[in-house]
């Protein structure tokens, strides 16, 4: 390459460095979000909300439905966590500014699965939970938790 061609490529460097820095920041935020917020969110649901709803559900059809929904949600938690576990090493390297290959299909898979999970939870499980927990004053704290989780900002940052 000639001098002018090299200087032309050099002129792209600021934009490339800016994109690389943005990629590093996005990766760091995702590592923090998944490692803290998502795992904590799953644990709160599984340790507090799900048991409260199961304990307050009416025996019979309602309890069986709640068991089925809780089972599905827990399976979806483990699936999302497993996908993240496969992605995490590369994303952590990207967060450190290291050059890595991140499997785009896995990223898309995680995004799709988590969006489906959140949509199902909001449309099906949380409204049912609210109805069930409202019947039992002892579980109003769990209701507060479910309402809090409904508005939990898992992806409110502009990435």
Residue 54, domain CATH: 1.20.120
Q: Which range marks the domain in which residue 56 is found?
A: 3-151
Judge whether 145 and 49 are in contact, CB under 8 Å.
yes
On whether the CB atoms of residues 54 and 70 are closer than 8 A, the answer is yes
Domain presence at residue 71: yes
Whether 157 is covered by a domain: the verdict is no
Band of residue 135 on the pLDDT scale cut at 50, 70, 90: confident
Q: How far apart are CA 66 and CA 54, in angstroms?
A: 6
Percent of the chain with pLDDT over 90: 61
The answer to the question of residue 113 being in a domain is: yes
Query: Residue 119 has which token pair?
Result: 């949509």
Whether residue 112 is contained in a domain is answered as yes
Q: What is the pLDDT of residue 9?
A: 86
The answer to whether residue 100 is domain-embedded is yes
Q: In the predicted model, what is the mean pLDDT of residues 87-98?
A: 94
Instruction: Give the C-alpha separation, 29 to 31, whole Å.
Output: 5
Question: Any idea which residue has 């490339």 for tokens?
Answer: 16
Question: Over the stretch 102-126, which tens digit does the pLDDT of each residue have?
Answer: 999 999 999 999 999 999 999 999 9
The verdict on residue 26 lying in a domain is yes
């Amino acid at each position: 390459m000639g001098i002018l061609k090299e200087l032309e490529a050099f002129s792209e460097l600021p934009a490339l460095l800016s994109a690389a820095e943005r990629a590093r920041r996005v990766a760091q935020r995702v590592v923090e979000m998944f490692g803290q917020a998502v795992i904590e969110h799953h644990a709160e649901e599984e340790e507090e909300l799900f048991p409260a709803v199961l304990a307050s559900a009416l025996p019979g059809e309602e309890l069986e439905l709640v068991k089925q929904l809780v089972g599905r949600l827990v399976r979806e938690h483990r699936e999302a966590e497993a996908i993240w576990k496969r992605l995490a090493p590369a994303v952590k390297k990207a967060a450190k500014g290291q050059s890595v290959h991140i499997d785009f299909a896995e990223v898309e898979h995680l995004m799709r699965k988590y969006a489906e999970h959140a949509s199902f939870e909001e449309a099906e499980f949380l409204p049912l939970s609210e109805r069930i927990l409202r019947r039992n004053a002892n579980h109003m704290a769990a209701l507060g938790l479910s309402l809090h989780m409904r508005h939990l900002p898992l992806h409110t940052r502009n990435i």
